[in-house]
Amino acid sequence: FLKPGEVSQCLYNQNDKQSPHPKLNKKPFQKIIPNILHAIGNTPMIRLNHIPQSFGIKCEIFAKCEFFNPGGSVKDRIAIAMIEDAESRGLLKSTSTIIEPTSGNAGIGLAVACAVKGYKCICVMPDKTSMEKENILTSLGAKVIRTPDTSVDDPDGVFHISRKLAASIPDSIILQQFKNPINPLAHYHITAMEIFDQCDGEIDMIVIGVGSGGTMTGVGRKIKELLPNCTIVGVDPVGSFIAEPPILNETTLKYTEVEGIGHDYYPKTLDKSVVDYWIKVTDKESLHMARKLHREEGILCGSSTGSLMSGALEAARNLKEGQKCVVMFPDGVGNYLTKFVSDYWMESKDFLPRPNIFKHWWWDI
Ligand code: PMP
């Protein structure tokens, strides 16, 4: 736990006897960077000081906080990597339109890069994706097309609609995060190495969820190469069909409220062989855990983080004191302000009990 004054001692030079006021220490800030895209990556790794302990976990748990990226998620990394790869292969012109099927965050990462580089951007998103993500996208100048929450091969789904759009819009390209090898490669070369360095090469477990599978494949593969004894745990929402063995996926649910992870098919960018074992987590557990992370650790994470953290608390029971478990925190609270952050929304979905309306009425007072 933090001792009183520990943080302010880092921020201020308490030893300066000349001045009656605490002075701001000159931290080694980065010099001026050429544009927002240079702020992608190097996200903080934060020790969790309350929740693991209250669950009786002996090891240390660290959060790799990807919502510090400019677009607010882990997907900024692959967005710029895929665009720069396409540029280097001569696939993009100044008039190009980038189209992408997305659960929102990859789209936001692409739209940030398009705003800087001047490309047009169209994001095709399923209906379940939050309005917050749509508003962020339109604010970045991207166009948003909504599709029903259907399966991968549905002609009205995100993949078919993206292809139809690409066929009708001149100079358009789909970067195909679900197929593009640059997606896992960005995580293999960069995200994994950041995690490795931040933990001084000592990591016993990493907990990751699967949307496109890029984070899992890239981080999982690199960490297994560097640390073969590190356990890679996959977290999959109940209602998704990615976990193995398939018996884990048995449920009547076909829908998840948690956004960004879980599918009814295996993306090509997912290498399941890097996963040692899978844990299933319900929407209710995930959303309550995300709210707990806000309240008890002050970390304003998104809904999939709640799933990963719930999975981590189960998996980390097997670790001893002194061991280290890293959990990916893929996005932040801003994407979900009208969803799980709101008590009214939680009540409307029966994730919180509805208030007893008779309790505080005048005749009770
Ligand atoms: N969490 C959230 C909120 C996401 O948007 C995504 C990407 N869809 C993920 C987790 C999973 O990342 P990846 O695509 O690398 O599997």
Strands (E) across 135-197 are located at: 143-147, 172-174
Q: What is the pLDDT of residue 151?
A: 83
Given a cut of 80, is residue 156 above it in pLDDT? yes
Q: Which residue has the higher pLDDT, 1 or 166?
A: 166
Average pLDDT score over the chain: 93
Q: Residue 349: how many CB atoms within 10 A of its CB?
A: 14
Strands (E) across 57-119 are located at: 60-65, 97-101
pLDDT level of residue 205 (50, 70, 90 thresholds): very high
Mean pLDDT of 65-78: 98
Q: What is the ipTM of this complex?
A: 0.99
pLDDT digits (tens, 9 = 90+) for 255-270: 899 999 998 889 999 9
Mean pLDDT of 195-207: 98
pLDDT level of residue 233 (50, 70, 90 thresholds): very high
Cα–Cα dist 54/48, whole Å: 11
Mean pLDDT of 36-48: 97
Given a cut of 80, is residue 299 above it in pLDDT? yes
Which structure tokens are listed for 307? 């799933």
Residues with CB under 6 A from ligand 1: 73-75, 103, 105, 209-216, 259-261, 302, 304, 330-331
Per the residue annotation, which of 64, 75, 133, 339 is the catalytic one?
Answer: 75
Q: For residue 345, how far is its CA from the centre of ligand 1 (angstroms)?
A: 23
Cα–Cα dist 138/116, whole Å: 15
Given a cut of 80, is residue 23 above it in pLDDT? no
Atom 12 in ligand 1: residue holding the nearest Cα: 211
Q: What is the pLDDT of residue 264?
A: 85
Phi-psi region of 104 (alpha: psi -120 to 50; beta: other; left: phi over 0): left
DSSP 355: P
Please confirm, yes or no, whether 75 is among the known catalytic residues: yes
Mean pLDDT of 105-120: 98
Q: For residue 286, how far is its CA from the centre of ligand 1 (angstroms)?
A: 15
Given a cut of 70, is residue 361 above it in pLDDT? no
Name the residue of 75, 125, 217, 308 whose CB sits within 8 Å of the most ligand 1 atoms, as the mutation to test its pocket.
Answer: 75
Cα–Cα dist 202/184, whole Å: 22
Given a cut of 80, is residue 358 above it in pLDDT? no
Atom 3 in ligand 1: residue holding the nearest Cα: 260
Q: What is the pLDDT of residue 30?
A: 74
Mean pLDDT of 291-301: 98
Q: For residue 233, give the nearest of 293, 312, 318 by alpha carbon.
A: 312
Q: For residue 239, give the nearest of 177, 151, 310, 327 by alpha carbon.
A: 151
What are the Cα distances from residue 337, in Å, to 107, 132, 133, 273, 343? Answer: 19, 7, 10, 36, 10
Given a cut of 90, is residue 150 above it in pLDDT? no
Cα–Cα dist 325/51, whole Å: 14
Name the residue of 177, 232, 304, 335 whose CB sits within 8 Å of the most ligand 1 atoms, as the mutation to test its pocket.
Answer: 304
Which structure tokens are listed for 236? 């999959």
pLDDT level of residue 2 (50, 70, 90 thresholds): low
Q: What is the pLDDT of residue 260?
A: 97
Cα–Cα dist 189/191, whole Å: 7
Mean pLDDT of 338-350: 97
Do 242 and 266 meet the contact criterion of CB atoms below 8 Å apart? yes
Atom 6 in ligand 1: residue holding the nearest Cα: 260
Cα–Cα dist 145/147, whole Å: 7
Q: Which residue has the higher pLDDT, 71 or 364?
A: 71
